[in-house]
């Protein structure tokens, strides 16, 4: 089983999208700072994931979610949880 996942940085509120064959181990690597692209954005939360039977399908899905259309899909799919997150944040001036 291959996974495509979206992590949410609690530090800057931005998403990170990736794919892996072992989602739990990869998530631990991200939060331990062993992944260069997310080491400075910790702590991270697993916000969304999809399972695929084939690694090529998971990579293709990851590439799609990184496009503008994919980000719109995620914002629509996760609308309720994103609204709750934004409501809990303080306004910046």
Tokens 């809990």, residue?
88
Map out the domains of the chain as residue ranges: 2-88
Convert the pLDDT of each residue in 65-75 to its tens digit: 999 999 999 99
Mean pLDDT over all residues of the chain?
A: 92
* pLDDT interval class at 91 (50, 70, 90): low
User: Within 10 Å of residue 8's Cβ, how many Cβ atoms?
Assistant: 21
Task: Note the pLDDT tens digit of each residue in 2-25.
Answer: 999 999 999 988 999 999 999 999
Q: Are 56 and 34 in contact (CB under 8 A)?
A: no
**For 28-54, what is the mean pLDDT?**
96
Q: What is the CATH number of domain 2-88?
A: 3.40.1440
Which pTM value belongs to this model?
0.88
């Amino acid at each position: 089983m291959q996974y495509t996942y979206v992590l949410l940085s609690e530090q800057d509120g931005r998403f990170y999208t990736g794919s892996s064959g072992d989602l739990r181990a990869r998530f631990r690597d991200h939060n331990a700072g062993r992944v260069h692209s997310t080491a400075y954005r910790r702590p991270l939360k697993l916000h969304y994931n999809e399972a695929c039977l084939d690694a090529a399908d998971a990579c293709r899905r990851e590439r799609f979610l990184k496009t503008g259309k994919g980000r719109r899909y995620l914002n629509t799919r996760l609308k309720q949880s994103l609204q709750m997150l934004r409501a809990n944040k303080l306004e910046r001036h």
